[in-house]
Structure 1
Amino acid sequence: MNILIYSHIALWTIHHAETVEIALKHLAEGDDVYILSCDGDLVSCPANSNHDKSLCLSCKHQTDYTLKEILKNKVHDLRVSLYHDKLTFPEFSSLNELVEFKFNDIPFGELVASQLVDDERDCFFSLDKKQLKVCEMLSNSISLYKHTRQIIKDKKIDKTYVWNGRRSADGPVCYAARDQGVSCEVYISGGKRSTYITLAALKVHDLTANKVLMDKLYEQAIENNGMELVNQEALSFFKTQRYGGANYPGYIHFAQEFKDVPDVINNERKKIVIFTSSYWENFGMSDYRGVCYVDHYDGIKKILREESIFTQNDLIVRWHPNLKTCGDSERKVIDKVIRESSENAIHYPPESNVDSYKLIDIADVVITFGSTMGIEANFYGKPSILLGRSLYEDLGACYQPESHSELVNLLSGKLPPLPKTGSIKYGFYIVNCGQNYFKYLKQVDSWNFTYKNKSLQKINPKTWRQMIKIQIIKSLKLLKLYDIVRYTAISIRGFKN
């Protein structure tokens, strides 16, 4: 078989290790392996969104090192070489308009938006000064799609692997494989050390594909080991969520910050606790949109303004801790919601160290828009209402109204908690979703891998992490200045939309 592995994240060792592991696996099976990597043509990628030249150079050095010292030149080395077609794009008035943009029926707008909102940690910023960057990313993304289709055709590729798949620098490769009629699997870190997940899908967050895999792994585990192990694994997930101590990458835990006890309201009224989400994380993925409200913020505002809800219940809003680093525009939206509803609800802003699990303990009902707190509430025996899309939406663990009026009706009565079967299944899956174990590479710690006692990283891990930290701080400080300079430079070159 001819295998194509697309890797543009050599700077992120944990994910680069997954690329190398897959390559070694197929080499051992006697396949011809092609690794397609970036040589600097991508204008933006997850590990280097602002195309910092020094990071590009480091990435190329790491790739060269891996191919020569780890893979011993046993794979075919391909580099991204993009076309520079002069494509014309509309001037997008908003992120929502960008998300709707398609080219040849491929959602390139979604892919670009997914990268942009990651960079900004914000879903409400203006595109006024980013039009040229958006056009560059769209053009780059379309070119990557065409380039990869040609490679698949010329090299007679039988199967393709792509890391993640939801952004403009990787998603086009998945669509190229699909449109060439070639099998494509996306991959990322698993829920345990030394594991990674592969999915036959266009992105690793694909709801349908993850639901199918969850059912498969759950049924296999029960058949092979019975419910006792499943319960133990699920319990380990919920304990880690609540008390911390996770030793695997890919998940952000805030438990160690939860030090404050919430104010207790001593009355007989029903206590409804609303947990928000980091809305930008799923913004560019169509299968996570909709259901009850236009978006999370629309939902929160309508709930807090509903007289029949706030006059009959005590409302508590716990803003997701991840939002404390959100962009300025999103923060303004949050602050406005808090300001305008402060008489109707108690708000714990993102910076608050209040223990979210103590809030679950005092809650009579928990409302979420897809965060794990919804399924955790079910695990702790609380009625949980889900108002958005989530991997656990079909597990029978949450009430799921389809409209605002349905929600109002639900909250008017007493809700019994639903069975915990769904939360057990979900917890087990998150721990075990990495159905592939590292066989060839050894994981020394989260960001350090070796192959036959040789480090996967070209430079010392501690030094590299410090360099990344400096680059992140530098990028954040220069972000606005960078956009202005880049906008001016491209305009001078006479770039046409």
Structure 2
Amino acid sequence: MDKYEYAVFLSLANFSPVAELHLAHIINLQKISNKSSILGIICDGKFGGCSINPTGLPATCYFCRLRATRICNISGIKYIYLSEFKPKDITYTPNSLFLGAMSSVASHTRAESISDLSCIWKFILKRLHIASIKTYKSIKEIIRIYDIKELYIFNGRYSCGKAAKEAARNSGIDFSVYDVRQQYRPYINKNIDLHNAHEAIKRANLLFYKNPEQSTKVAIKYFNDRRNQKSTFETSYTDKQQLGFYGKLNKSKQLIVIYTSSDDEYRFLGNDWGISQRKVLQSKEIFKLITNLPSEDFEIVIRIHPNQIGVRTSSLQSIRSLPKRDNVTVHDPDSVIDSYALLDKADAVITFASSISLEASYWKKLLIQIGPSPYSPLNIGYNFNSAIDCIDFLKANNRKLNKIKILDSKNAIIFANYLMSYFDPLDGFERVDGIYKVHSITLPVSRLSRILSIPEKLIIYITKRPNVFSKHFIRKILITIEDIIQGTFRDII
């Protein structure tokens, strides 16, 4: 049996820029090794669905397999199919595989727990978990048979990638996980999970101190752009808000502004993000806050994150259904209330894994973070494990919140620059006029494959129970059609 030093798991190849990242990493590996030492591992769709094809639509699997095969043919490497190593036993596997499957489902539904899922999504979750187990077992066997020394994997958070990563980790070999920021800035971690918060902070510091003056300018622009509804490393979610409008506030009380977040990206990471704090359910923590803080002293405004439009998790419904209190106001995701106008007026800002933590720190606000967050290790605010600890802190400082020390915002500036600027060089990988290329090679996606995937995407979207007569939904349909015609990848349904 041939031996291979490297293997690349060509998952999600029907999606760009994933396919182009696969190809770029293979070509770069060939510069330090040779074609005969690199093996391509292709999912042939026989284990079930994946993150981009959760229902396991055969047509989507076919075109994904076709594109993965093309990557191997262009680079001249040998490839094998996962199903050639189909496991007979799928009983014992790491518990983390379930988290990977749930992370895939949460990316579509924004679910915070299984109870948020409809019967359809519970069925999909079960399928993805089983597929993940089979993938894990198969890749472990491939590693053993071909004596693989290092496995390259896209992202490593979703069901199939998580399975591959855990197979490498539990086989005692190296793994490298990669992705892009802003759709064009590649980055890669070796033997460290891609979402590890401490690794991100370490890289943020190294990047900042290469040129502190320029890095600070980048960060300041980031904070100003966010406030002024401009896109940064992600789309602006506040562009429908009325600048400067904060609504009616009781100025005789201390204003606590609570910002919710859609934390599906972090909730199911398990140990991947290197933070050991116990997870919290936002609705329960907010309920504790509003029922335990004295109403005569505190005005509480809850700003639901604008990217949660259409999300119907039980937690979000619980926030909307909080007991009516004179000192509590809840603003829905589509409210015109300006998130930053509220920030300016706040005596204290409370967040849950939200990036507005960075902004609250930069704008010199008293920042409180409840539960685990990728920003809590930055020490830019007061971190609490639960609302009860936070309540004790606020009560102890009642009527003197303005005397609490505002923590240094330097780390917020450092991390903002990282979000906007960091990348790991990947020779040949580029994005020109919305088209991804690797050394001028393009991997166009079949227009037919995208058309055939529309019914599945519509079904998945409708399971989220959107208002199909809303302008929001109609806009999604029109942009999807435009994407297919132009060959672009906004992929918003």
Whether 1:121 and 2:117 are equivalent positions in the alignment is no
Tell me how far apart the structure 1 counterparts of residues 235 and 312 of structure 2 sit (CA, whole Å): 18
Whether 1:475 and 2:460 are equivalent positions in the alignment is yes
Aligned with residue 409 of structure 2, among 420, 423, 427: 420
Tell me how far apart the structure 2 counterparts of residues 292 and 181 of structure 1 sit (CA, whole Å): 28
In structure 2, relative to structure 1, the CA distance for the partners of 1:477 and 1:444 (3 Å cut) is: same
1:287-338 Cα distance to aligned partner (Å, 9 max, x none) = 4788477421211111111142x3311110001112213236455333323x
Aligned to 1:484: none
Aligned to 1:372: 355
8 Å CA contact 1:65, 1:458 repeated in 2: no
Aligned to 1:196: 186
- Root mean square deviation of aligned Cα: 2.9
In structure 2, relative to structure 1, the CA distance for the partners of 1:196 and 1:240 (3 Å cut) is: farther
Identify the range of structure 1 (114-123 vs 129-138) with the bigger mean alpha-carbon deviation: 129-138
Tell me how far apart the structure 1 counterparts of residues 405 and 358 of structure 2 sit (CA, whole Å): 15
3-state SS of paired residue (2:309): helix
> How do 1:103-182 and structure 2 match up within 5 A?
103-123=92-112, 124-125=115-116, 133-182=124-173
Aligned to 2:365: 382
> In the TM superposition, what is the alpha-carbon distance from 1:266 to its structure 2 partner?
5.0
3-state SS of paired residue (1:165): coil
Query: Could you tell me the TM-score, scaled by structure 1's length?
Result: 0.81
> In the TM superposition, what is the alpha-carbon distance from 1:25 to its structure 2 partner?
0.6
> How do 1:393-432 and structure 2 match up within 5 A?
393-412=376-395, 413=397, 414=401, 415-432=404-421
Aligned to 1:443: 431
3-state SS of paired residue (1:257): coil
Aligned with residue 307 of structure 2, among 322, 335, 356: 322
3-state SS of paired residue (1:4): strand
Aligned to 2:341: 358
Aligned with residue 288 of structure 2, among 277, 302, 306: 302
Identify the range of structure 1 (263-272 vs 380-389) with the bigger mean alpha-carbon deviation: 263-272
Tell me, which stretches of 5 or more residues in structure 2 are unaligned?
466-493
Whether 1:46 and 2:51 are equivalent positions in the alignment is yes
Query: Which amino acid counterpart does residue 10 of structure 2 have in structure 1?
Result: S
3-state SS of paired residue (1:282): helix
Aligned to 1:212: 199
Aligned to 1:312: 297
> How do 1:89-100 and structure 2 match up within 5 A?
none
8 Å CA contact 1:279, 1:296 repeated in 2: no
Tell me how far apart the structure 2 counterparts of residues 465 and 137 of structure 1 sit (CA, whole Å): 22
> In the TM superposition, what is the alpha-carbon distance from 1:376 to its structure 2 partner?
1.0
Identify the range of structure 1 (124-133 vs 165-174) with the bigger mean alpha-carbon deviation: 124-133
> In the TM superposition, what is the alpha-carbon distance from 1:86 to its structure 2 partner?
6.3
In structure 2, relative to structure 1, the CA distance for the partners of 1:294 and 1:121 (3 Å cut) is: closer
Query: Which amino acid counterpart does residue 432 of structure 1 have in structure 2?
Result: S
1:391-421 Cα distance to aligned partner (Å, 9 max, x none) = 2212221011344443123223223322111
1:103-137 Cα distance to aligned partner (Å, 9 max, x none) = 44442222222223223322332576666554443
> In the TM superposition, what is the alpha-carbon distance from 1:205 to its structure 2 partner?
1.7
> In the TM superposition, what is the alpha-carbon distance from 1:349 to its structure 2 partner?
0.8
Aligned to 1:280: 264
> In the TM superposition, what is the alpha-carbon distance from 1:469 to its structure 2 partner?
6.0
Aligned to 1:64: 69
Query: Which amino acid counterpart does residue 186 of structure 2 have in structure 1?
Result: Y
1:256-290 Cα distance to aligned partner (Å, 9 max, x none) = 22235121425232111000011433231234788
Query: Which amino acid counterpart does residue 76 of structure 1 have in structure 2?
Result: K
Tell me how far apart the structure 2 counterparts of residues 467 and 342 of structure 1 sit (CA, whole Å): 50
8 Å CA contact 2:263, 2:353 repeated in 1: no
Query: Could you tell me the TM-score, scaled by structure 2's length?
Result: 0.82
Tell me how far apart the structure 2 counterparts of residues 432 and 318 of structure 1 sit (CA, whole Å): 29
1:43-80 Cα distance to aligned partner (Å, 9 max, x none) = 12111111122222221232233333x43xx1222222
Aligned to 1:332: 317
> In the TM superposition, what is the alpha-carbon distance from 1:85 to its structure 2 partner?
3.8
3-state SS of paired residue (1:35): strand
> In the TM superposition, what is the alpha-carbon distance from 1:426 to its structure 2 partner?
1.3
Tell me how far apart the structure 2 counterparts of residues 78 and 239 of structure 1 sit (CA, whole Å): 50
Tell me how far apart the structure 2 counterparts of residues 470 and 50 of structure 1 sit (CA, whole Å): 11
Q: Determine what percentage of the aligned residue pairs are the same residue.
A: 19
1:220-258 Cα distance to aligned partner (Å, 9 max, x none) = 541x33x2022122223323433354476xx34313222
